[in-house]
């Protein structure tokens, strides 16, 4: 149940909009000083842990670049530059698929399209750069949606998004496992690992979807976060407004994953490698394995780079080209993350009509 995001949405989030109720009112924290101090202590320890993991990731990336030679990798990045606009367009389309999925989960005409776009741009830095970013990003998304749809329904939408993100990744991971098995043999440890990851995605996605519908499971949140106690019934009523796996949002999420696999085909072509469907799916599987292994590292820096370095022979790449693919992914995400931060500062939402 760690994936369910309502708690952070109720507690607050960066940007000055999270500590609001479903009516757009401020929701100040009223707990005792001891509780506030304990919460602050947990945040400090978590920040220190994330900083330490981020430092380890950066050090690992620096060692990899030094091993393959900075000049060779810079040359590869320079040759890949002409395809960067296509990668940006694919990433924008992928983000658009997530926006469509959230819009399909919202009540009709409850959230203006421009506001949906803004919410997804604003949450992009959280989802891509923060450790365990998907859950944190959905929490922020719920907070930003709550003035339009109310806190219980916003929490239900974020929970559905979390479940759908897991489930939608599983078909591509399964295809990636088959592609890796075809290239390296069905007994390949990487193929078996990606296959296990696909199974875990299905299990986790269904667990989130169905657990949210059970009163006993959600009671844990009501006990831990007192403010949610009065919203338990409303949350579950909102969850039950749609099936556990709503078809249209699920299709949008799968389309987003397919665009991500297409990005890997472009990345392979950018570094001069074979970029057919089989290699592209294999590269997607390598990226998924690296992301899963480095989920607690900010931006998965060092983890995805190491995964591509190890899988270079599988993808028909030299080490510098393999690491260049991971570096290009980091640069692409950093570009969109900086855009999200700029939008957060410059594009303020209008309060919804009463």
pLDDT at 95 over 80: yes
Among residues 288, 15, 269, 65, the alpha carbon closest in space to that of 165 is found at 288
Residues 213, 236 contacting (CB under 8 angstroms): yes
pTM of full prediction above 0.75: yes
pLDDT for the residue 28:
40
Residue 53 tokens read as 């993991």
Mean of the pLDDT values across residues 298-320?
84
Residue predicted with more confidence, 275 or 114? 114
Residues 298, 54 contacting (CB under 8 angstroms): yes
pLDDT at 163 over 60: yes
Name residue 68's beta-bridge partners: none
In angstroms, the Cα distances linking 77 to 10, 61, 107, 327 are 43, 15, 44, 9
Alpha helices in the chain (DSSP H): 6-11, 33-68, 70-80, 84-105, 113-129, 133-149, 151-184, 189-211, 215-224, 232-239, 247-270, 277-293, 303-310, 319-346
Residue 20 tokens read as 């609001």
pLDDT grade, residue 116 (50/70/90)? very high
DSSP for 252-277, written as a single string: HHHHHHHHHHHHHHHHHHHTTS--SH
Distance CA(30)–CA(34), nearest Å, equals 11
Tens-place pLDDT, residues 252-296: 999 999 999 999 999 999 888 877 899 999 999 999 988 888 777
Residue predicted with more confidence, 200 or 319? 200
Residues 289, 190 contacting (CB under 8 angstroms): yes
pLDDT grade, residue 49 (50/70/90)? low
Among residues 265, 253, 271, 263, the alpha carbon closest in space to that of 329 is found at 263
pLDDT for the residue 89:
96
Tens-place pLDDT, residues 217-250: 666 555 544 454 556 677 777 888 888 899 999 9
Return the number of other C-beta atoms located less than 10 Å from residue 83's C-beta: 15
Residues 22, 145 contacting (CB under 8 angstroms): no
């Amino acid at each position: 149940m760690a994936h369910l995001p309502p708690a952070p949405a109720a507690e607050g989030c960066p940007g000055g909009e999270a500590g609001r109720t479903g009516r757009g009112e401020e929701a100040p924290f009223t707990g005792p000083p001891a509780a506030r101090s304990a919460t602050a202590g947990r945040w400090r320890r978590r920040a220190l842990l994330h900083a330490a993991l981020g430092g380890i990731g950066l050090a690992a990336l620096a060692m990899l670049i030094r091993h393959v030679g900075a000049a060779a990798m810079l040359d590869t990045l320079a040759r890949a530059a002409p395809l960067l606009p296509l990668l940006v367009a694919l990433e924008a389309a992928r983000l658009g698929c997530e926006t469509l999925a959230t819009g399909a989960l919202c009540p009709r005409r409850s959230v203006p399209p421009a506001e949906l776009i803004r919410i997804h741009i604003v949450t992009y830095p959280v989802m891509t750069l923060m450790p365990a970013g998907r859950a944190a990003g959905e929490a922020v998304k719920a907070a930003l949606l709550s003035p339009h749809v109310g806190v219980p329904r916003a929490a239900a939408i974020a929970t559905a998004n979390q479940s759908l993100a897991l489930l939608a990744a599983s078909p591509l991971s399964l295809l990636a496992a088959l592609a890796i098995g075809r290239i390296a043999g069905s007994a390949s440890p990487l193929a078996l690992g990606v296959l296990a990851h696909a199974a875990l995605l299905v299990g986790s996605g269904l667990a989130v979807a169905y657990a949210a519908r059970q009163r006993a499971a959600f009671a844990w949140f009501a006990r831990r976060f007192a403010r949610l106690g009065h919203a338990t019934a409303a949350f579950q009523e909102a969850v039950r407004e749609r099936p556990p796996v709503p078809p249209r949002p699920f299709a949008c999420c799968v389309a987003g994953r397919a665009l991500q696999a297409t990005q890997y085909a472009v990345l392979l072509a950018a570094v001069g490698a074979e970029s057919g469907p089989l290699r592209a799916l294999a590269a997607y599987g390598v990226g998924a394995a690296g992301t899963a292994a480095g989920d607690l590292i900010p931006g998965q820096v060092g983890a995805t780079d190491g995964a591509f370095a190890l899988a270079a022979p599988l993808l028909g790449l030299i080490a510098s080209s393999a690491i260049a693919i991971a570096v290009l992914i980091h640069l692409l995400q950093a570009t969109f993350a900086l855009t999200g931060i700029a939008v957060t500062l410059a594009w303020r939402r209008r309060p919804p009509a009463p």
